[in-house]
Amino acid sequence: MITIENYYNILGIQKEDSLEIIKKAYRTKAKILHPDKNKSVDAHEQFILLNEAYEYLQNLKTGKLYVRNKKTYTTQKQTYEDWKKNEREKARARANKYAKMKYEEFVKSDYYESISSLSTIASHLSFFFGITIIVILPIFTTIFYGVAGFGIGLLINFILLPFTVTTIRNAPTLKLVAFTNAVLQIVKTKGFLITTLSIINIFILLKFGLQTLVSPLMLISTNFMAIVLVYLVTKSKGNKFKIYFYSFCITPLIINSFILINFFFSYNPTKETYAFQNDLQANSRGNQESTYIFLENNKYDEYPGVRIFLDYEEMRDKKHITYTFKEGILGLRVMTEYEFNP
């Protein structure tokens, strides 16, 4: 029966070792135990156990599960027993796929290269952060607060001294080329692509979708129905990445492209001025004006995107707002500018 202690032994590490050491141990062992390199009869199973051990321990170090006899267990998500029941077979299935790859394919996979690249990035960033605290922090505090700021900077340095000394002492030999290559490798991964497209979609929706005179319900329902349709079509393909990529990234991006085209190819600007009142927001000090406004005669009541703002200071003590609207090339009006007036 595999125990947690076995996982540490498989990777050749100690319980107190950091996530960085765990990743380094995995990369070293993977080069030795991959079936293409390991000629043992049970090479396949050794490699699967290595991946199983790595996935468990990196989840343990990042707080996604806990060991039952630790006092902090109430703040963690699942036990070793839960992990065995829910995640172990998934980890072994992933490892089985990597074991069937040629070694050259495995070390070029997103999984392996991400571990290697993230490790390189983390070690360099921790060093840069340590240097920043020691050198840059006192300079900035002195610039902003004078002699007292210099003292504050030194005090913070003293408090963080154990951390910064450990960080710099354990830092690897700085290799800026390796650091740059690691960053580029992360940029090329599927996870980075999905994350980037998701952020772009959210930005377009919040920045330009809300400034288009279309109801939020229409925006949400259009995206939802399109995503569900594409998901059902691609589900039969069996590739999880493609299903997620086309359903949740490309489909919203296509819809958002129409929003952008309508916004940037708009014409015939007109100005409209309305009196407004701020919505009241309850807090510990009573009711306070928020940045959400109501226009006279409930104008544009169905379009909250043109009535919510980020900065209260620009509307403080103002009673009117002047909008600039344009006709979008696809037939939807857009709000391109606004100005608060007394």
Residue 254: exposed, middle, or buried by beta-carbon count in 10 A (0-12, 13-18, 19+)? Answer: exposed
pLDDT average per 10 residues of sequence, the chain (342 residues): 80 82 82 82 83 82 56 49 69 75 68 60 67 79 77 78 68 63 65 84 92 92 92 80 87 95 96 93 76 94 92 91 96 96 92
How many domains is the chain partitioned into structurally? 4
DSSP codes joined into one string, 287-337: EEEEEEEEEGGGTTTT-GGGSB-S-SGGGTT--EEEEEEEE-TTS-EEEEE
Residue 97 CB contacts under 8 Å (≥ 6 apart), including other chains: none
Mark whether 63 and 14 lie in a shared domain.
Answer: yes
Q: Is residue 258 part of a domain?
A: yes
User: What is the rounded distance in angstroms from the CA atom of residue 287 to the CA atom of residue 291?
Assistant: 13
Judgement on whether residues 208 and 249 belong to the same structural domain of the protein: yes
Query: Is 8 inside a domain boundary?
Result: yes
Domain that holds residue 299: 267-341
Flag whether 113 is in a domain: no
Are residues 240 and 171 located together in one domain of the fold? no
Distance CA 93, CA 55 (A): 12
72 and 144 in a single domain? The answer is no
Q: At 73, which CATH number?
A: 1.10.287.110
Chosen domain end from 108, 127, 152: 108
* 139 lies in some domain: yes
The Cα 69–Cα 85 span in angstroms is 19
Check residue 320 and give its pLDDT: 95
Same-domain status, 196 and 183? no
Q: Which residue has the tokens 């979008």?
A: 328
Residue 82 confidence (pLDDT): 67
Q: Do 308 and 333 sit in the same domain of this protein?
A: yes
Do 15 and 104 sit in the same domain of this protein?
A: yes
In this structure, are 33 and 101 located in the same domain? Answer: yes
Pull the structure tokens for residue 328: 């979008």
72 and 15 inside one domain:
yes
Query: Do 95 and 17 lie in a common domain?
Result: yes
pLDDT value at position 299? 94
Residue 224 identity (one-letter amino acid) = F
- Residue 29 in any domain: the answer is yes
Instruction: Please report the pLDDT score of residue 209 as a whole number.
Output: 93
Q: Of the residues 240, 264, 288, which one is the last residue of a structural domain?
A: 264
Give the domain-ending residue among 86, 108, 130. Answer: 108
18, 88: one domain:
yes
pLDDT of residue 93: 78
Q: Are residues 103 and 11 in the same domain?
A: yes
